[in-house]
Structure 1
Amino acid sequence: MAQVSGAIAGAALLLPTLDGATYTSIGGGTPTLGPNVSILRGLLMEAVLTFILVLVILLAAVDKRLMCAPLAIGSALIVSILAGGPISGAAVNPVVAFGPAVILSTESTSHWNDHWLYWVGAVLGSVVAALSFRFILASVEKRTVCRDKDNVEK
């Protein structure tokens, strides 16, 4: 709820800084699919971008295998936005699409057309990342399977 409220508040705060035509022309910051990008391709891009970000977070912050977690996480987010921006808008987190869409609902409902793909892509990507981490990539003592019980430190 905090992220959703923050996204709506952030989009609302952007509104008075720009004139109405400019705000509407940039879609209030709502991510959209690029030209000639299919819904399936956009969904796949959002899932892959979220997978990468969540996996880096798990490896850096949870497993502490990467030094300087904030730098690793920030770098993963920057690369995701640069790579996925032209294809899917690179929301990575679905509330990034939700906040501006709510504020723009008074102008138009077209921002909700492909909105579902940001939620589904994020869920798919994060679930696959969590399962990959838990079963394969986590340190031996944090794995659910694929671990040698004799070598786990007690």
Structure 2
Amino acid sequence: MRNILLVLSLLLPAALAQAQQPAPLPDARMLVNMPDVPRSVMRADMLDHMAALNEIIGDLAENKFEAAAETAEKRIGQSAMGRNAPMARGQGPGRFMPDTMRQMGWNMHGAASEFAKVAKTGDKTKALAALQQVTASCVACHMAFRTR
């Protein structure tokens, strides 16, 4: 009897904790199917975009407008488009994206190039407003689409 009570006392908290877990919310974003290589290339690009944004914000905080502009253009802007195409071996992520998703990507690259132009003026307020257009593109796409 003692053993049964001991086992129940050990299992009961776990059972209660499991019963109290809310069900995960469904993911309403559109699933975009793409092969592993292009998805990996796109993921690597997005991770680098995040790192670049972090550098840009740091540069703006230190009033290093030229550095922020250079990072934005080279790593996120129109100059960065297709830079990893050789890794995708002709199977770049863009060919698997719905038109809306592809347009969002182009908008993001364009916004980063526009930010670079604005940042070079040294006007921090305008630069931050232009940078927000870059991140708005990221947010819009990530809120609408997923690859897994």
TM-score normalized by structure 2? 0.30
